[in-house]
Amino acid sequence: MRALTKYYFDYAATAPLDPRVLRAMSPFFSHSFGNPSSLYRLGREAKLAADQAHQIFIDTLGGSPTKFIFTSSATEANNLAILGAARSLRDLGNHVIVSAIEHKGILSVASALEAEGFQITQIGVDRDGIVDPQELSSALNDKTILVSITTADNETGTIQPLKNIADAIKKFRDTHQQSHPYLHTDATQAAAHLNLDIDHLPVDMLTLSAHKLGGPKGIGGLLVRGEIKLEPITYGGRQQNDLRPGTENISAIVGFARAFELATQERREEFQRIKKLRDYLERTILKNIPKVILNGHPIKRLPNFLNISILDIEGEAILLRLDDKKISVGTGSACNSQTLEPSHSIEALGLPHEYIHGSLRFTLGRYTTMSSVNYALKQLTIIVKDLRKMSPLNLKVVGTGKPTSVPQAFVREGVPHFVRRKKK
């Protein structure tokens, strides 16, 4: 496993399956293969495994009463949270707030709600990628039923002030003597690194994904406080509180729970180990490669994230050259391989396109070592020097002169970070 992931720096995209997770899953592929809705022994074994997995999430994430709904992915969980809550509350209001840096699994759902007649407010972020709780508070009104703010951005790893956001929402609820708006967060990127106990992180709904934790792909989940009523988005049988019909994928559920359990147990130790490697990677790049900009908050970010813009060259060109050296990284210069549009999360920081197109995302994980970091640093330095020789660009960093700061020349005066977008 370590050999396969030696130069892998894209844990934000996915993580390799942990062998300990695979061992936990194995019996449910062929031995304990029963349908948990069946009454005979094989069915009871499967149901017991699903119930035990469910309890792991409830015990770890806290809150009472709560339920955990297993889905096919974080995207489906986000759909269930946002569509399910908005539709069930439409008699009380039609206003939903999201941030500009949400994953497309959130923003696309918001667009779908807009087509149904809901009003969508999109909150911008500051140059570090952080939502201002006061700006969000000013966007709340008597029609607001739901707010969805990511725990940590999936491009820069910037951690959002969810506690302050939750306090602002609670103050609004108390003032108006009502139970809504509800607060949902997509914690997919944060789950391996932060304490997500909802007594500590006071949200109403929380989305997770297994494959970012070393679990299997094709399984995610949504934690929901007990008093929240969701309208289902799929229909069929009565599994999972009538919210997610269909025969449960027991092997994936068991694997998800085991991956989450391991990530929780090893979180503190891994946080420090990975942060040390990330900080070394960052310091060395900034020292050895000129004209590099740090994207996102320099401190308030997940320990495994480093997003930088290397000026004068394309991120994709660097990525492909690194790939030739068996080094895997991500780039924000294009959202994915199907589009040439730059990442909306990086755009939200207010960076010029010349900077966005030179962005790279390094994300570290369980199998990252100092030797792999040093190898990546050596190759990156050589590749950047080589590509810059061929580049016609020669951008200048102006303003503060600090290599990690956004150039003041590109900061447009008077442009607010708070943007409202409503259905026309």
* Residues catalogued as catalytic: 335
Counting Cα atoms < 13 Å in the Cβ hemisphere of 28 gives 23
Among residues 100, 99, 97, the alpha carbon closest in space to that of 119 is found at: 97
Nearest to 317 by CA among 423, 390, 371: 390
Contacts of 389 (CB under 8 A, 6+ apart): none
3-state secondary structure of 191: coil
Query: Do residues 14 and 212 lie in contact, with contact meaning Cβ atoms separated by under 8 Å?
Result: yes
Q: How far apart are CA 67 and CA 206, in angstroms?
A: 11
- In angstroms, rounded to a whole number, what is the distance separating the alpha carbons of residues 361 and 359? 7
Kindly state the tokens that stand for 264. Answer: 């929780």
Strand 119-123 to 182-186 pairing: unpaired
| Cα 173 from chain centroid (whole Å) | 27
How far is it, in rounded angstroms, from Cα 273 to Cα 341? 34
Indicate the helix (H) or strand (E) that contains 24: helix 19-25
